[in-house]
C-alpha cells in the first residue's frame, strides 16, 4: 500500500508545472523513501536472536536518507523524461543501491558486538535481487510516466504491478541479506542503552506510513484542486479568445453595469481603447436621455435573465468616443460564474443596413409609381402587357391582353405552348425566334 501511494505521487511528477515541481519532488521522494524504509524495518521488527535489540538513532536517520536520496534521483530522471535504456539503467543503479544501502546501514544501526559478518555469496545475491527487482519496477513505472492519462488515474494496473514488484524487491533483498548475516553467539546489541527500542520503532513505522498516506492525500488534493483551477483558467481563456475574435462587437457587463471585458470589434466600433472602457459604466456608450431607462431595463433583465434580442430599429442608438451617433442591434445573454451573473451584450452596427433598407424602400416606391404611370398609359393607348416566367413557363396577361385576344380570364393561355397555339402558323417561327433573342439579351422585343 505504501509503495502504491508513493508511486501515485511519483507518476504525476512528470506532468507537474514548474512552480509546483519542488513540492511534488520533495513530497514524492519523502513518501517513496519512507515507504522503502518502513517495509524494511517491519521485517527487522520480526527479527529475533534472543537478546534485546535497539537501533542507533544517527544511523537509522542515515538509512532513511539513503532511501529518500535514491528515490529523488530516480524521480528526477523520470521528470526529465529521459525514456531510454540508459536512463532506466541509471535509475535502477541508484534505486537498487539506495535499497541496499538503506538495509545494510539499518543493520549496522544495531551496533552489534562482535560485528555482523556476511556470507559473500548471499550478500551478492541480495544486491542482485535489489537491482533486478528495481529494474522491473522502474521499467513498469517509466512506461506509465509517459502516459498523462494513466498517471492521473486514481487506480492503475501498471502502477499496482510496479508497487508489488517494488515490495517484492525490498522483501526479497531484506530476507536474502538477513540470511547472509552471521551473528556471533556471544553478540550483544550495544545500541540498547541509547538507541531506539523495537516498540518505539514500531510506532515510528506506523507514523511513517501515516505520513506517507497524509502526503499522498495532500498532494493528490492539491493536484485535483490545481487541475480544476487550470481547467477553469483554460475555459475562461478560450471564452475570452472566442469573444475577442468575434466579428460582432461584444461587451461583458457585471450586475452593476460595469464593463468587465470588451472585444476588438467593439473597441473599433466605439473608438475607445480597452483601458478606457474596462471598469466604466455601460452608460458611457448610450445617449444621456436613455441612462435612467437603461438602468431600469438592466434590473428587469437581471430579475429574469434569459437570451433576448433588441429588435433592429432606428430607435436603438449608441455613441462613439468622438460623439457620433449610430444605430445598433443588440443581443443579451446571461453568464453565470461563481454564483455571480454577468451579461454578454452582442452589438451590431446597423447604420449602413438601415440606410440601404431606406434606399430600397425609396426605389420600390419609385418603381411602383412608374408602374402605375405605365398602366395608365397603356390603358389609354390600348397596349397589352404580358409577363413570361422562364422558370415556371407561365404567362401572365393584363386586362388589355384579354380584350385584344377576345378571351375571358379563365381562358388565359397559362403556358407559352398554349399561347403559341394562338399565333398564326406563319408567324410562329418568327415569334419564337424573336422571343429567344430577347431572353438572351440580343435585341428588344417588338
Q: 177 and 109, same structural domain?
A: yes
Contact by Cβ (8 Å): 264, 244 = yes
Asked which of 359, 380, 401 is the last residue of a domain, the reply is 380
Q: 284 and 391, same structural domain?
A: no
Q: 278 and 252, same structural domain?
A: yes
| Residue 232 belongs to a domain | no
Residues in the chain: 446
User: What is the structure's pLDDT at 433?
Assistant: 83
d(CA 67, CA 40): 11
Q: 90 and 126, same structural domain?
A: yes
Q: Indicate the number of domains in the chain.
A: 4
Q: Is 112 helix (H, G, I), strand (E, B) or coil?
A: strand
Q: 342 and 356, same structural domain?
A: no
Identify the H or E element spanning 329: strand 325-337
| Residue 235 belongs to a domain | no
Contact by Cβ (8 Å): 14, 79 = yes
| Residue 237 belongs to a domain | no
Asked which of 227, 260, 295 is the last residue of a domain, the reply is 227
Domain coverage including residue 416: 382-446
Q: 143 and 60, same structural domain?
A: yes
Q: 181 and 40, same structural domain?
A: yes
The stretches in the chain having pLDDT less than 70 are 1-17, 19, 78-84, 141, 143-156, 159, 197-199, 201, 205, 209, 212-213, 216-217, 219-220, 223-224, 227, 310-315, 377-381, 411-413, 445-446
Quick one: what percent of the chain has pLDDT higher than 70? 81
User: What is the structure's pLDDT at 124?
Assistant: 92
Q: 31 and 142, same structural domain?
A: yes
End-to-end CA distance of the chain: 101
Tally DSSP H helices, then E strands, for the chain. 15, 14
Q: 313 and 267, same structural domain?
A: yes
The pLDDT tens digits for 106-153 are 888 888 888 889 899 999 998 898 888 788 777 776 766 555 555 556
User: What is the structure's pLDDT at 121?
Assistant: 92
Asked which of 196, 227, 258 is the last residue of a domain, the reply is 227
Q: 212 and 253, same structural domain?
A: no
Q: 269 and 179, same structural domain?
A: no
DSSP string computed for 277-293: HTTSBGGGGS-GGGHHH
d(CA 138, CA 159): 10
CATH, residue 306: 3.30.450.20
Q: What's the gap between Cα 21 and its chain centre?
A: 21
d(CA 432, CA 446): 12
d(CA 10, CA 71): 9
| Residue 36 belongs to a domain | yes
Q: 394 and 356, same structural domain?
A: no
Amino acid at each position: 500500500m505504501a509503495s502504491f501511494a508513493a508511486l501515485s505521487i511519483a507518476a504525476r511528477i512528470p506532468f507537474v508545472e514548474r512552480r509546483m515541481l519542488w513540492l511534488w519532488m520533495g513530497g514524492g521522494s519523502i513518501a517513496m523513501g519512507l515507504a522503502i524504509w518502513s517495509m524494511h524495518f517491519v521485517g527487522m521488527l520480526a527479527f529475533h536472536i534472543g537478546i534485546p535489540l535497539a537501533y542507533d538513532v544517527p544511523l537509522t536517520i542515515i538509512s532513511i536518507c539513503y532511501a529518500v536520496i535514491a528515490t529523488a534521483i530516480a524521480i528526477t530522471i523520470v521528470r526529465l523524461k529521459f525514456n531510454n535504456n540508459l536512463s532506466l539503467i541509471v535509475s535502477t543503479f541508484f534505486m537498487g543501491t539506495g535499497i541496499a544501502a538503506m538495509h545494510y546501514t539499518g543493520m549496522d544501526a544495531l551496533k552489534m558486538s562482535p560485528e555482523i559478518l556476511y556470507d559473500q555469496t548471499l550478500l551478492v545475491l541480495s544486491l542482485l535481487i535489489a537491482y533486478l527487482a528495481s529494474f522491473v519496477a522502474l521499467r513498469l513505472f517509466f512506461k506509465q510516466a509517459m502516459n498523462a492519462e494513466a498517471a492521473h488515474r486514481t487506480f492503475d494496473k501498471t502502477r499496482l504491478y510496479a508497487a508489488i514488484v517494488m515490495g517484492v524487491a525490498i522483501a526479497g533483498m531484506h530476507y536474502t541479506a538477513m540470511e547472509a548475516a552471521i551473528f556471533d553467539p556471544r553478540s550483544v546489541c550495544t545500541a540498547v542503552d541509547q538507541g531506539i527500542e523495537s516498540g518505539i520503532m514500531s510506532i515510528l513505522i506506523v507514523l511513517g506510513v501515516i505520513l506517507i498516506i497524509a502526503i499522498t492525500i495532500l498532494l493528490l488534493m492539491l493536484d485535483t484542486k490545481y487541475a480544476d483551477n487550470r481547467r477553469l483558467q483554460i475555459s475562461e481563456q478560450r471564452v475570452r479568445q472566442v469573444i475577442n475574435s468575434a466579428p460582432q462587437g461584444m461587451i461583458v457587463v457585471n450586475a452593476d453595469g460595469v464593463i468587465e471585458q470588451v472585444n476588438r470589434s467593439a473597441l473599433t466600433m466605439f473608438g475607445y481603447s480597452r483601458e478606457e472602457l474596462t471598469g466604466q459604466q455601460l452608460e458611457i456608450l448610450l445617449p444621456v436621455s436613455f441612462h435612467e431607462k437603461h438602468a431600469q431595463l438592466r434590473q428587469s433583465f437581471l430579475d429574469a435573465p434569459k437570451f433576448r434580442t433588441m429588435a433592429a430599429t432606428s430607435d436603438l442608438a449608441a455613441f462613439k468616443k468622438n460623439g457620433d451617433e449610430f444605430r445598433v442591434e443588440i443581443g443579451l445573454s446571461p453568464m453565470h460564474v461563481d454564483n455571480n451573473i454577468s451579461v454578454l451584450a452582442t452589438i451590431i452596427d446597423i447604420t449602413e443596413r438601415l440606410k440601404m433598407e431606406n434606399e430600397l424602400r425609396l426605389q420600390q416606391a419609385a418603381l411602383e409609381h412608374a408602374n402605375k404611370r405605365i398602366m395608365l398609359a397603356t390603358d389609354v393607348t390600348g397596349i397589352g402587357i404580358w409577363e413570361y416566367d422562364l422558370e415556371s413557363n407561365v404567362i401572365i396577361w393584363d386586362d388589355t391582353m384579354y380584350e385584344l385576344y377576345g378571351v375571358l380570364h379563365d381562358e388565359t393561355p397559362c403556358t407559352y405552348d398554349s399561347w403559341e397555339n394562338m399565333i398564326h402558323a406563319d408567324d410562329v417561327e418568327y415569334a419564337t425566334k424573336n422571343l429567344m433573342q430577347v431572353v438572351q439579351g440580343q435585341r428588344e422585343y417588338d
